[in-house]
Amino acid sequence: MPAARTSRQPRRRTATLLASLLLASSCAWAQAAAPLGERLAEIREINRFTPERALPMLLRIETEARAGSVEDAGEMLAQLCVAYQKVGKQELALATCDELIAFGRAHQNNAALAKGLVRKGYIKYDRNELSASHELIWEAERLANTTDDVELRVRVGVSAAESFAEEGNFPRALEKMQATLAYTRQHGGPVHLVIVLNSLARLYRQMREYDKGFEALAEALVAAEKTDSPGRLATLKSTEYGLAVESGQLERALKAQTAALALERQIGAHALAARSLVNLSDCYLRMRDYAHAASYANQAIAAASAINDENGLATARVNLGQAYLATGRLAEGKRSFEAGLAAYEKNGDKPELQTVLAEYGSALERAGDYAGAVQAYHRERSLSNELFEKRRQKAMLELREKYDADKKQRQIVLLERENQVKSVEIDNRRLQQRVWWLLVVVFALASLVVGLLYRKVRHANAQLYLKNQELKQQSVRDPLTGLYNRRHFQDFMRGHRVDEKRGAGTSGEAMVSALFLMDVDHFKHINDTWGHGAGDAVLIRIAESLREILRETDMIVRWGGEEFLAFLPAIPASGLDEVARRLLNGISETSIEFQGTTLSVNVSIGFAPYPLAPAGKPLPWERAVNLVDMALYMAKGHGRNRAYGVRGFANFGRTSMEEVEQNLEQAWRAGFVDLSIVTGGYPELRASA
């Protein structure tokens, strides 16, 4: 079954809270006897897990702190920003960060300035502004390293490493994290060591090096014992849960997350407890224990609602929908799933929404609601196309910006050379006036300089031509598979004449063009089970198989994600089913070697001759591809590892193309569309060590 939804864990600042410290803090507050710096340190510990308790404490000492030292005032503003952000008051948090940044600059205090920058970076991260977040955090790291504040340097060092990991630069992230760990071993205490080792374990989890992650976690647990902190232990247990889940140790994951929940409830960390409840419902879904999964999902909904955690609430509702659908409670499951989807749509988290829609379709398919599954797949496909187009536009913009920057640099170089030439000419005139007998030598030198410059300009132009050719090649090819990309196919079809390849083959049979759209079955399961490296290996091998199965004259396109499109410019009209059968069986027979495991996969296919001409009027190529896409989803909905082909249309006096496009399957069953069905003869997914 597809993986359930796991609560998105906070990226940075794993919290710590000592139960005894909370009691001591309350007493100290009541007596107001401790120095301000000590009280701020106690509030900082409380703020990490229970910001709703810390916020009123901070507001009560705000006036006193502002009148105190630069260090105390800066720490008070930093903790106020933390509290506002964690209780959901984002605008107040951002305003406080800006105030702290201005405060640090006004007092030329790098520690206060670094605290303000890193806190603002966290807010930008929560708003999905990753580039801005990373730049702020890296600037904060540069400033923090000029101070002797161990707490600040450790936390900002960890955040800087995590920023590199978020950009996919794991070698740089690991280098940063290990440097921070070395600094912590030399200057920090047990609390700081727990922070760095916990983040290192999470980084190893991202890198899928689970053994190293468990090693770092074991050392962190030893250090946590010295802190006597239930909060630290709860955080480490949650990290253990993530490592155990992704390495397939579900019993260990369940035990770790249950322990974390007990510790979080012990110290009143409601936000972390809500996250743990979501994770427990996810774990039970993976174990197919749907009764417990539903129970914990309901508890998570109540907990997230109590603290206005919209993301946690959405995830819990999706998990509850998974549990209900798996136990046959179709109507309740769909309501819960749709409520979760609505929350993701409201938040504008489209990549997460696409993933949830795919899981929704799979869950409905397993529950027997094939019509609902097809609708979910269509929604997912529409969103996928939208995201693909945005990514394409972003890539083109980045290429354009790079080209403009290179062009500007070349113009600067040429302008500098031009100025040099003008300077030489001015010097020549002066020499001409003073020493007439040097005139010939001066002209000779000037000619030599101009010749060299001319040769350099020609060389620069040649290099520019080569770069332009390289960019042109990159713009039409998919970098992973080497196949044509979607943009190239679209450009080709805009200039393609429908009647270019009409005629008869050697056998006298009419020749047609054809479209074949293929989608890898259970591709998400491959990524979830063996990792994205296995998914890339599958896509590369399928691309190679398509080149072997089809002809050199056929255009093969990576349509997006795990979809491939083939355009056959000339094929006998009766040969479409045979091509579909060759594609199904040829890909099923393909073996993919990945890290000692042999994988085999299937595809589902939609196909049709091109052009399609209902009622004698040819459809535009975009609508033809859309109709083939609908046939593909029928193949998915009817069992996968098969091909559905649109052969023709009938009885258009009683229907229209628009009605056919609304529901292809219904039109087929009503006799308006003639479909060809080709089934594959191999199992859907195999793997062997």
Class of residue 468 by CB neighbours under 10 A (exposed 0-12, middle 13-18, buried 19+): exposed
Instruction: Tell me the three-class secondary structure of 88-122, residue by residue.
Output: CCHHHHHHHHHHHHHHHHHCCCHHHHHHHHHHHHH
Q: How confident is the model at residue 505 (pLDDT cuts 50, 70, 90)?
A: low
Interior CA angle at 374 toward 636 and 536, to 5°? 50
- Residue bearing the bigger pLDDT, 394 or 634: 634
| pLDDT, position 500 | 43
CA 315 to chain CA centroid, nearest Å? 17
CA 64 to chain CA centroid, nearest Å? 44
Residues 6+ apart with CB under 8 A from 120: 94, 97, 98, 101, 136
Q: How confident is the model at residue 451 (pLDDT cuts 50, 70, 90)?
A: low
Of 24-38, 388-402, 554-568, least confident by mean pLDDT is 24-38
Helix (DSSP H) and strand (DSSP E) numbers for the chain = 27, 10
- Whole-angstrom distance, CA of residue 5 vs CA of residue 313: 11
Asked if the model's pLDDT at residue 384 lies above 80, the reply is: no
Q: What is the mean pLDDT of the chain?
A: 83
pTM: 0.54
Asked if the model's pLDDT at residue 668 lies above 90, the reply is: yes
Asked if the model's pLDDT at residue 30 lies above 80, the reply is: no
- Whole-angstrom distance, CA of residue 280 vs CA of residue 267: 19
Interior CA angle at 224 toward 222 and 230, to 5°? 135
Percentage of the chain exceeding pLDDT 70: 84
- Whole-angstrom distance, CA of residue 549 vs CA of residue 568: 12
pLDDT digits (tens, 9 = 90+) for 33-46: 588 888 888 888 78
Asked if the model's pLDDT at residue 20 lies above 80, the reply is: no
Backbone angles phi, psi at 508, to 5 degrees: 90, -5
Provide CATH code, domain 19-147: 1.25.40.10
Beta bridge partners of 606: 517, 644
| Highest mean predicted confidence (pLDDT) among 14-28, 446-460, 494-508, 667-681 | 667-681
Q: Which residue has the tokens 């161990």?
A: 150
Q: Which CATH architecture has domain 484-688?
A: 2-Layer Sandwich (3.30)
Of 167-181, 457-471, 512-526, least confident by mean pLDDT is 457-471
| pLDDT, position 85 | 84
Biggest alpha carbon–alpha carbon distance for the chain: 104
Distances (CA, A) of 422 to 428, 450, 456, 516: 10, 11, 17, 63
| Highest mean predicted confidence (pLDDT) among 3-7, 371-375, 481-485, 494-498 | 481-485
* Averaged pLDDT, 621-642: 93
Asked if the model's pLDDT at residue 19 lies above 60, the reply is: no
